[in-house]
Amino acid sequence: MGLKAPKRYKIAFVAGTRPEIIKTAPVYLAVARQPDLQPVFINTGQHREMSHMFLNLFNIVSDYDLNIMKPEQSLSSLSASILQELERILQRENPDWVLVQGDTTSAFCGALSAFYQKIAIGHIEAGLRTGDIYSPFPEEMNRILVGRLSTYHYAPTQKAKDNLLNEGISPNKIMITGNTVVDALYWIQSQDKQISSSDISRLLSSNPNQRLVLVTAHRRENWEGGIANVAEAVVRLAKRFPDIVFIFSVHPNPVVKDQVYAILSNQANVFLHDPLDYFDFIKVLNQSLLAISDSGGVQEEAPSLGVPVIITRSTTERPEILGTGMGYLAGTDQTTIINLATELLTKKQARKAQNIFGDGFASQRIVQSILFSLGKIPKRPDDFDY
């Protein structure tokens, strides 16, 4: 009789939005390199148009692809659909672990479904808090609920760990790993490829020294008035700085897209573009003088490249960026955005990347933690020291 093959522990990933895929991809790839582990990727398709684009970028083929998105879907309907599908999949796969990332509806439902099946849950990017359950909405409450459900908590920073400790989470269940977005960022920078967007490529090749500002907007709490205010501020900035091209990566949600195009489509030095793939996005961000964004990911990516970001929100769950010269809370007040942008665009300042959120090894720490919990290695990795 032949020798029995050693057990491979099954690690299921539940993700479906652009930021989740970017931040879980390095962990998935690190799991796939381990002979004792078998990754299973469940794409909820919460960002249907974008999820495949980003999975393809990292050469990840999803094992399950949920076709659950419908026009104008409520959070209740979305949550119910994800939970129903995940129950079937988790019962079939019976994974040893489920990994979720961040604060989306996919993350919350992934953790809740795993809890119902009594499966160990690892929370990537655990412990972020604003202190206001409605800002951002519903992400802040999603984070809190995932934190109560999770078995292991992968905090990106000491502040995030402190938040979890203050909520009564055992220190033995928390590890500071750094943020996996930095791992993804470094991976992207190591790739030898050309920008895929012909429009962006033409823009940058026509003037390699072109001054740029990158803009994004998508937060639900900014849908009624806030996104329009940001767009109006960009109009005024574009007129004030005619030598700068403002590249607006426009979210596909019609609530966002319609407002942005109505206000900005006729401004000569504003370049409206469908969501950039991650490689193109990082190339543009790296060349930008400034980012204006309500994205959590941009708050982490920009300082890693030495690019300041004006945060168009009233709160941030990443307070580490404030006071470093890399991040400025502006809300969606036009005057505040314009004054901050004007100051940053006219100030002579040496550009310096800051290691606020990670060193590029968060994924390895998470995988080592999983192996330690399974008894495959004798020592838990040390916390990220930054």
3 state SS of 109? helix
Q: Which residues are catalytic?
A: 103, 125, 139, 218, 220, 251
Peptide bond into 156 cis (omega under 30): no
8-state DSSP, 224: T
Identify whether the C-beta of residue 233 lies closer than 8 Å to the C-beta of residue 240: no
Q: Rounded to whole angstroms, how far apart are CA atoms 193 and 364?
A: 25
Cis peptide before 252 (omega within 30 of 0): no
CB 384 within 8 A of CB 177: yes
How far apart are the C-alpha atoms of 228 and 23, rounded to whole Å? 29
Nearest to 196 by CA among 54, 335, 61, 302: 54
Burial of residue 261, with CB atoms counted within 10 A of its CB: 0-12 exposed, 13-18 middle, 19 or more buried? middle
DSSP line for 368-383: HHHHHHTTSSSSPPPP
